[in-house]
Amino acid sequence: MSIAWVFPGQGSQAIGMGHDIYEHFSVARAIFDQADDLLNLPLRSLCFEGPEADLIATENTQPALLTVSTALVRVLEDLGGAGLARPLAVAGHSLGEYSALVAGGALDFPTALRLVRRRGELMAEAHEGSMAAVIGLAQEILEEICLDINAAPQGDASAAHSTVVVANYNAPDQLVISGSTLAVERASLQAKERGAKRVLPLKVSAAFHSPLMIYAAESMAHELERADVRDLDVPLIANVTAQELRGADEVRREAVAQVVAPVRWIASVQAMVAMGCTTFVEIGSGKVLTGLIRRIAPQVRTVTISTAADVRAFVAENS
């Protein structure tokens, strides 16, 4: 059985995440305690008890989700030992790519924790633009809409507000647009006119995965220059290119580029299927990626690991 490990990103957080593995496994407790110490934050308490308003603050959400996913990986490795079936590839959705980099050996947990905390802070500081989910419209049509809006003549009064891109290729029937608020509104209206089943504004503070995040990308580049990044032990399927990465320099470039570039999740899943992955294991809070993968590649097997029972069942089957 050829396995891919995949890791969820922002939006999958939930109060209570990670609590039972903390209670059952010392290696999980060590990860949560280390996160609290390194960040000088009550991260464990936020994950287990909330309040939700604090947990969903992006500068907290990002290290919290990384911590939960990493704790689950450590428990898997500890219980499975040398006999645990290793993944053929790892991947993560947006923020989840950092969890994949830890699982794949490119980053140690403390380094990744500091990076995602800074990433979250930079995103929290960005207050320009908006995002919207577009349901049931072909990507070619949505891309054409974005291109038309972006091509507004320079003399047009709206030209300064005409940045909109497809930011997330989540599933064939679920795409996300991001950009300046006026451009997103215009693209949303045109998407409805051209057959989208629904267009849903997202509750975000800025235009993530768009050119409007260039300041955050430049700041992350400085952070990553100083970070200890190693070659991967397991190939990463990158958000930006949907291609295999192994080298440390490639990892740095990917981590910077993904701040402003689209998340090509459809192509990433298809790439892992082409590599021979027949089982996709979502490691972290929730089942968001599992739902997307079933719509992209219905022929593969999907497994979710978010609780102690999930870990034990997977290890019993695969080691």
pLDDT at 68: 98
pTM to 2 decimal places: 0.96
Reported as half-sphere exposure (CB side, CA atoms, 13 A), residue 120 has a value of 25
Common-topology check for domains 3-125+211-318 and 130-201: no
What single letter denotes the amino acid at residue 7? Answer: F
CATH number among 3.40.366.10, 3.40.1350.10, 1.10.10.10, 3.40.309.10, domain 3-125+211-318 = 3.40.366.10
- Residues belonging to the active site: 94, 209
pLDDT at 158: 53
pLDDT at 204: 87
Q: Give me the residue spans of the domains in the chain.
A: 3-125+211-318, 130-201
pLDDT at 31: 98
Mean pLDDT (10-residue bins), the chain, 319 residues: 94 97 98 97 96 94 98 96 90 98 98 97 92 98 96 60 93 97 96 98 92 96 97 98 97 98 98 98 97 98 97 91
47, 174, 283 from 309: Cα distances, Å: 19, 31, 13
pLDDT at 205: 84
Residue among 237, 317, 307, 240 nearest 6 (CA): 237
Identify the architecture of domain 130-201 in CATH: 2-Layer Sandwich (3.30)
CB 244 within 8 A of CB 89: yes
